[in-house]
Structure 1
């Protein structure tokens, strides 16, 4: 069944990094969604020209409210406008929810490993928030690859204090002073310890740029992970 376009009104814009924003919309008759799903956003210019882009949902279902994570792309046609220019109270169109494979459900009983590259953390934060609101259960581990400390999204959600969440940051260009792990790309050594806490049936969710996702997925399989347990979402 083809999903209908719905009007979505921008209710709030929240900064995440210097170039990233969370956008909260109200959507009339929103049907709900699962953590990990995404939506298409359509903008229509005064001359009728339309542009459509896909954005991940950053929070579990909450009535008629949805939250999107938007990373500004240099010379982008849509992301700079959404991130910084769309007025609060203005309307866009959304279609969704989309995607039924890269999702987490509250009834899942296994420990989970989440691996994010940059803005790929957005749908994984939706899973973390859904896990937290469901009462915790089996632990989540997030391995989050970012260029520098200033590039971390959702600091509040990832801060210490959640006994059901273990966050491991892997800085690729600049690590904070005193950090034991030197700056560099995610390696099999970064994955080895988090994998030890999983069961054979535990899902591993990997999201980020295509090259990152492919490298991490290959490393997981090389480390003995069943490919059927590795779920990926990529962009770029």
Structure 2
């Protein structure tokens, strides 16, 4: 996952443990046909900031190692554990192992939390823009907001190809913060937005550009479009934080 230059103003992020530790998988949830969430209990736990990530490392019997970074989906209020939501990439080295091999009770080598730029530290109002699995760090922000400040203005605009690609579908349906747009095939009877994220969706979110903060996460193309829409809507550049994910997994 490509991460941008840290913002000095985000120095509130806690320092991560410097060494690897062995966590235990205690729950696995199938989010979509290609996405699973893994709850991992940690012997050395520290509260993260919504938007941070953990590194995961796999070691083969011959000593070969593969390492990837995955955003944390859980709120930092879930003491002792983290949730990592992982999209299966067929040509990846780590994500297929999680999807095809990892079971409850397995041990996983992790290190974190990391990142100080793409984090939410309580700013408001907030507009979240997610494309595909880019919704994962945004979900940590939304979950934390629901726990600590349910009345805080936060809206999520979520772009997916079809109904099978909606991660956290049941959970997102429980609140009124989320607007979904289907870029390819909408569910039968769908009366909401269709097509790519656009200026009308940003305007309808109701987050004032002159005071709002925005977070956009997804593919490079999605983030470029989202950033342009936010700037056109009047959001100041310093109030926009973006994160891009790449094809490795």
**Fold shared per TM-score above 0.5:** yes
**What is the deviation of 1:179?**
2.7
Work out whether 1:170 is the aligned partner of 2:181: yes
Higher mean Cα deviation, 180-189 or 44-53?
Answer: 180-189
Deviations 1:23-72 (A, max 9, x none): 01011111220111111100111111000001010011222211001000
**What is the deviation of 1:222?**
2.0
Does the residue aligned with 2:149 lie in a helix, a strand or coil? coil
**What is the deviation of 1:181?**
4.6
Distance 1:197 1:212 in 2: 20
Does the residue aligned with 1:218 lie in a helix, a strand or coil? helix
Q: Residue in 2 aligned with 1:211?
A: 221
Runs (5+) with no aligned partner, structure 2: 1-14
Identify which of 147, 151, 159 aligns with 1:145: 159
Work out whether 1:67 is the aligned partner of 2:83: yes
**What is the deviation of 1:182?**
5.7
- CA distance change for structure 1 residues 183 and 193 in 2, over 3 Å: closer, same or farther? closer
| 8 Å Cα contact 2:130-2:159 kept in structure 1 | yes
Work out whether 1:51 is the aligned partner of 2:61: no
Give the CA RMSD over aligned residues.
1.7
Distance 1:125 1:34 in 2: 12
TM-score by length of 2: 0.87
Distance 2:75 2:193 in 1: 34
TM-score by length of 1: 0.91
Higher relative contact order (CA 8 A, sep 6+): 2
Higher mean Cα deviation, 46-55 or 129-138?
Answer: 129-138
Q: How many residues align?
A: 230
Q: Residue in 1 aligned with 2:98?
A: 82
Does the residue aligned with 1:120 lie in a helix, a strand or coil? helix
Identify which of 131, 140, 143 aligns with 1:129: 143
| 8 Å Cα contact 1:115-1:207 kept in structure 2 | yes
Does the residue aligned with 1:34 lie in a helix, a strand or coil? coil
Distance 2:151 2:191 in 1: 30
Deviations 1:143-187 (A, max 9, x none): 000000111111232114x3xx42110101001233335632212
